[in-house]
Chain A
């Protein structure tokens, strides 16, 4: 099998630099998704009709339309139309962030609904406003609860970040394509790219597992329950 390892080894530094871009995209998108997801989940559970309806629509759209379509729509379409000069990196981050936000909204919504009713009632009885109760009682619990599902989302977003090459972001996939087109060693290079993604997935999942364990340290107290 004509695996030209030399081509792979020579281009490895170049490819690995792409993983910084990839990591940047993924971390930013996940954090954006976290904020969107939590806010939407709160809106979906506690909000009135006028809040729930548009939020549900948002979730439906971003869970039903493929990421590639959204990338083309936003980067070549909307951003140009609105004269927003977002870079490819920023565009991918925004699109992925909005997409994962929709999925995370559902994750957190499920987590909120699974909390016993009594938690919220107790907070109100103690004189907390709704906002305080949500911030201090509901959020700390559901965020911990959702780490496994969130870890799953991370894995998905990492893989979706590979689509950034279609709008030219200089991440792993784009660089691999570039090197492959010049050395013709497609097979070995794309396998190498696959291995890099695999390792990034693995590392991330382990890191999140450690985070989950870390947050379980006894002695962490809920704010506000006097």
Chain B
């Protein structure tokens, strides 16, 4: 099958963009989950001061568009002398935004664990750390995984905004090529397929994880 030069250039650029997308997604997912756990735990168990701080963080990053956050990070911060590279600005933006949503799911999961679980562990002589690590966390993870998984899917889709801060990933490459050849329909249909593939793979992996962790009696909260 002979591919025209256009398609060859398209696929090459898109694959390059795909690599950048993955390079954006993976750190952001990991960072988002970690921040989500930190903020979620703080918002559930912390003292009033740290709790308010974490609540405020979550409210700001969930209450404003990701676009605005990216603009502030990349175009706004230079006003106060902080210069972030496009890649760093994008990852920081995605991580902070995703982290806020993740903290919501994790907070919900932690709140849903009955206090009696902790009491039962204490009565057996578990230290605080042991009770949290062996009894609370394994249950919270199972409760949170559905919501956290959904959030990861959202992150994959919103990574498409990186071009706004001039970090060129899949969507950015497509925009360049489509503008050059003015063939938007084809280019963006193919890009759409790329994203569908990414999302489908992610959903598959998450389902497998959910299955491995399954315990009778633990539906989604």
**Are A and B in contact, CB atoms below 8 Å, in the complex?**
yes
By a beta-carbon cutoff of 8 Å, the part of chain A in contact with chain B is 1-2, 60-61, 63-70, 72-73, 76-78, 80-81, 158-163, 165-166, 173, 176-177, 180, 184-191, 193-194, 197-198, 201-202
Subset of 28 A-B contacts with CB under 8 Å? A1-B80, A63-B199, A64-B200, A66-B157, A68-B160, A68-B161, A68-B171, A70-B192, A72-B178, A73-B184, A73-B192, A76-B184, A77-B185, A158-B65, A159-B64, A160-B65, A162-B67, A163-B67, A166-B164, A173-B68, A177-B71, A187-B75, A188-B79, A190-B71, A190-B75, A194-B72, A198-B63, A202-B63
B6 within 8 A of A: no
Q: Which residue of A65, A81, A194 contacts B64 across the interface (Cβ within 8 Å)?
A: A194
10 tightest A-B CB contacts, nearest first:
A77-B185, A77-B184, A187-B76, A73-B188, A66-B160, A159-B65, A162-B65, A76-B184, A187-B79, A194-B64
Q: Given known contacts A1-B80, A65-B157, is B196 in contact with A194 (CB within 8 Å)?
A: no
B27 within 8 A of A: no
By a beta-carbon cutoff of 8 Å, the part of chain B in contact with chain A is 60, 63-69, 71-72, 75-80, 157-161, 164, 171, 174-175, 178, 184-189, 191-192, 195-196, 199-200
Please indicate the chain B residues that have their CB under 8 angstroms from the CB of A69 in the complex: 160, 171, 174, 188, 191-192, 195
Which residue of chain B is the closest to A3 with respect to CB atoms?
A: B79
| Measured CA separation A159–B188 after assembly (Å) | 22
Which residue of chain B is the closest to A197 with respect to CB atoms?
A: B64
Please indicate the chain B residues that have their CB under 8 angstroms from the CB of A65 in the complex: 157, 192, 195-196
Please indicate the chain A residues that have their CB under 8 angstroms from the CB of B79 in the complex: 2, 184-188
Minimum CB–CB distance from A186 to chain B (whole Å) comes to: 4
| Measured CA separation A73–B178 after assembly (Å) | 10
Please indicate the chain A residues that have their CB under 8 angstroms from the CB of B68 in the complex: 162, 173, 190, 193-194, 197
Minimum CB–CB distance from A95 to chain B (whole Å) comes to: 12
Minimum CB–CB distance from B203 to chain A (whole Å) comes to: 9
Do B72 and A66 have beta carbons less than 8 Å apart?
no
Which residue of chain B is the closest to A177 with respect to CB atoms?
A: B71
Do A72 and B67 have beta carbons less than 8 Å apart?
no
Please indicate the chain A residues that have their CB under 8 angstroms from the CB of B185 in the complex: 73, 77-78, 80-81
Minimum CB–CB distance from A80 to chain B (whole Å) comes to: 7
| Measured CA separation A163–B161 after assembly (Å) | 9
| Measured CA separation A134–B159 after assembly (Å) | 40
Minimum CB–CB distance from A4 to chain B (whole Å) comes to: 9
| Measured CA separation A17–B189 after assembly (Å) | 34
Which residue of chain A is the closest to B170 with respect to CB atoms?
A: A69
Q: Given known contacts A1-B80, A194-B64, is B171 in contact with A186 (CB within 8 Å)?
A: no
Which residue of chain A is the closest to B74 with respect to CB atoms?
A: A186
Do A191 and B175 have beta carbons less than 8 Å apart?
no
Do A73 and B64 have beta carbons less than 8 Å apart?
no
| Measured CA separation A176–B75 after assembly (Å) | 12
Q: Which residue of B66, B76, B199 contacts A191 across the interface (Cβ within 8 Å)?
A: B76
Please indicate the chain A residues that have their CB under 8 angstroms from the CB of B159 in the complex: 66
Of A1, A60, A73, chain B has the most CB atoms within 10 Å of the CB of A73
Please indicate the chain B residues that have their CB under 8 angstroms from the CB of A163 in the complex: 65, 67, 161
Q: Which residue of A72, A187, A197 contacts B63 across the interface (Cβ within 8 Å)?
A: A197
